[in-house]
């Protein structure tokens, strides 16, 4: 595992662990946001995204579904488009593969869709096509996320799934 | 940052009714209760005061509150704040008060039963999340994402609702109203540091002034919370 993530994993768990009091979790998230917004911490988002880009499939075993959901939501909340663009779309597929929990899978598909739409990815190049291929019995989750989005990009991707 | 109304999805059926409710009843309801630029207060635990003070970037710009994201929040990811009409209503969440202003464009009245009914009808069409909400152990996560999805879909800057946590003597769940203020990124509800609450500043010794402005009811509540007030003052010193 990437050394930064190895060290930061405990912090991720503090931000997301259900056994950590809610107020404490929020304080950890707030502190990361404030640090990332400071001059000395400005590189943090890019470093964190790069670390996720480097993860091997077995590395995901070290993360809880709550931690991964936090990461996915954090990606969706990145205001700097250049920063979020550092993420490799394959990460979405890796998360989908590593976690069988339906709420994680559904959410990662939604965020992948938003991420691609915001970056002008062409529907034929969408990672959702690969995810759909490997989704097995959870293909309906992928289709559901596309259907309820009701946006033009989601429709374009759905057309190319051949569903 | 406010939503861009041009990003509204193509509305059909129930969506139209809800949109009409937002632009009509909800707007009138908000305007009848609150000022166009409404002062609001958020309470933080003392441990987060330092973070708030460091939240400005650059440091000369206004500080920012944190739009929280956790499953337990009623309407999803938002800055949960209270109009100054009810200065102590959300004090169960902390002792350090931060006052700012909001001027939401698209608001949703979730005080009125019709607003609740519309929301409940709408989420039933969100098939997988609704399934997760009603038939699985993941209901808290589903509730959060359904709230976010609804507010994104209708581009809501603010949902106002009665408190759903009973915390005497602070909140009166029948009278008080709280706001869920949206932090928007790329046209969607998001979490993180936000400027959605303008010019937030720590309250410094102003609690008595606020009480006086609220009349006898405010003063009675103030009397009940004197100890809390002293604690807040100690934090701010």
* pLDDT for res B3: 67
Query: What are the backbone dihedrals phi and psi of residue A66, each rounded to the nearest 5 degrees, phi first?
Result: -65, -40
* Structural domain for A104, as ranges: 89-163
Collect all residues of chain A within an 8 Å Cβ-Cβ radius of residue B125. Answer: 148
Q: Considering only the beta carbons, identify the residue of B125, B128, B192 that sits closest to A33.
A: B192
For residues A94 and A39, state if they share a domain: no
How distant is the Cα of A152 from the closest Cα of chain B, in angstroms? Answer: 9
What SS3 state is found at B192?
strand
pLDDT at residue B223 above 70? no
> Is A76 domain-assigned?
no
Residue A83 lies in a domain: no
Q: What CA–CA distance (Å, rounded) separates B149 from B134?
A: 17
pLDDT at B9 over 90: no
The pLDDT-based confidence of B178 (bands split at 50, 70, 90) is: very high
What DSSP string describes B91-132? GGG-SEEEEEEE--SSEEE-SSHHHHHHHHHHHTTSHHHHHH
Q: What is the pLDDT of residue B226?
A: 44
CA-nearest residue to A81 within chain B is B186
Q: What mean pLDDT do residues B22-33 have?
A: 98
- Residue B101 above 50 pLDDT? yes
Assess whether pLDDT exceeds 70 at residue B1: no
Best of B192, B193, B194, B200 to mutate (most A CBs within 10 Å, chain A):
B192
pLDDT band at B227 (very low <50, low <70, confident <90, very high): very low
Contact assignment for A102 to B132 by CB distance below 8 Å: yes
- Any chain B CB within 8 A of the CB of A25? yes
CA–CA separation, B38 and B40 (whole Å): 6
pLDDT exceeds 90 at position A7: no
Two tokens at A135?
A: 């989704």
Beta-strand pair B178-181/B188-190: unpaired
Give the B window 168-227 contacts with A, CB below 8 Å: 183, 185-186, 188, 190-193
- Would the pLDDT of A103 be above 70? yes
**What local confidence, expressed as pLDDT, does residue A85 receive?**
87
In a shared domain, residues A44 and A96: no
Tell me what pLDDT residue A149 has: 86
Range of the structural domain that residue B216 is part of: 5-236
Report in angstroms the alpha-carbon separations of B31 from B103, B104, B150, B163.
Answer: 11, 11, 22, 20
Task: Determine the pLDDT at residue B230.
Answer: 45
**B212 CA to chain A: closest CA distance, Å?**
31
Could you tell me if B154 lies within 8 Å of chain A, comparing CB atoms? no
Pairing verdict, β B79-83 and B178-181: antiparallel
Residue A105, domain member (yes or no): yes
- What are the residues whose beta carbons fall under 8 Å from the beta carbon of A82, sequence distance 6 or more? none
Domains held by chain B: number: 1
Number of independent structural domains in chain A: 2
Average confidence (pLDDT) over B215-226: 48
pLDDT attached to residue B229: 47
Which of A30, A68, A69, A112 to probe the B interface (max B CBs under 10 A)?
A: A30
**Whole-number average pLDDT of chain A:** 92
Half-sphere exposure of B33 toward its Cβ, with a 13 Å CA cutoff?
22
One domain, residues A53 and A111: no
Which residue blocks in B138-206 are alpha helix, DSSP H? 139-153
Position with higher pLDDT, B142 vs B10: B142
Mean pLDDT of B134-162: 94
Give the residue-averaged pLDDT of B153-158: 96
User: Is residue A54 domain-shared with residue A116, that is, in the same domain?
Assistant: no
The pTM of the full predicted model, rounded to 2 decimals, is 0.87
pLDDT confidence of B5, banded at 50, 70, 90? low
Kindly list the residues from chain B whose CB atom is less than 8 angstroms away from the CB atom of residue A80. Answer: none
């Amino acid at each position: 595992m990437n050394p930064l993530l190895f060290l930061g994993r405990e912090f991720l768990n503090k931000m997301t662990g259900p056994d950590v009091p809610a107020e404490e979790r929020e304080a950890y998230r707030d502190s990361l946001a404030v640090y990332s917004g400071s001059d000395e911490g400005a590189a943090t988002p890019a470093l964190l995204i790069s670390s996720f880009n480097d993860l091997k499939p077995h590395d995901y075993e070290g993360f809880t579904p709550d931690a991964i959901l936090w990461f996915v939501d954090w990606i969706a909340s990145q205001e700097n488009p250049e920063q979020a663009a550092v993420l490799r779309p394959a990460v979405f597929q890796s998360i989908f593969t590593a976690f069988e929990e339906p709420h994680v899978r559904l959410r990662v598909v939604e965020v992948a869709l938003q991420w691609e739409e915001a970056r002008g990815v062409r529907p034929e190049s969408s990672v959702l096509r690969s995810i759909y291929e490997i989704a097995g019995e959870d293909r309906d989750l992928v289709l559901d996320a596309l259907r309820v989005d009701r946006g033009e990009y989601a429709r374009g991707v759905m057309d190319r799934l051949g569903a | 940052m406010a939503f861009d109304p041009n990003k509204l999805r193509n509305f059909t059926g129930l969506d139209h009714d809800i949109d009409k409710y937002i632009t009509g009843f909800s707007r009138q309801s908000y305007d009848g209760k609150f000022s166009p630029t409404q002062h609001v207060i958020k309470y933080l635990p003392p441990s987060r005061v330092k973070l708030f003070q460091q939240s400005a970037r650059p440091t000369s710009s206004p500080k920012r509150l944190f739009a929280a994201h956790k499953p337990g929040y009623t309407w999803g990811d938002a800055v949960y704040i209270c109009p100054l009409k009810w200065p102590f209503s959300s004090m169960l969440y902390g002792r350090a008060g931060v006052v700012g202003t909001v001027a939401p464009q698209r608001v949703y009245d979730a005080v009125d039963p019709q607003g609740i009914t519309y929301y409940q009808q709408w989420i039933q069409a969100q098939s997988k999340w609704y399934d997760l909400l009603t038939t699985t152990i993941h209901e808290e996560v589903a509730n959060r994402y359904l709230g976010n999805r609804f507010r994104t879909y209708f581009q809501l800057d603010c949902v106002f609702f009665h408190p759903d946590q009973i915390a005497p003597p602070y909140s009166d769940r029948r009278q008080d109203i709280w706001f869920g203020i949206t932090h928007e990124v790329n046209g969607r509800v998001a979490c993180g540091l936000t400027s959605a609450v303008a010019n937030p500043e720590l309250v410094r010794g102003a609690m008595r002034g606020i009480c006086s402005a609220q009349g006898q009811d405010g003063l009675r509540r103030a009397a009940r919370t004197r100890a809390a007030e002293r604690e807040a003052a100690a934090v701010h010193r």
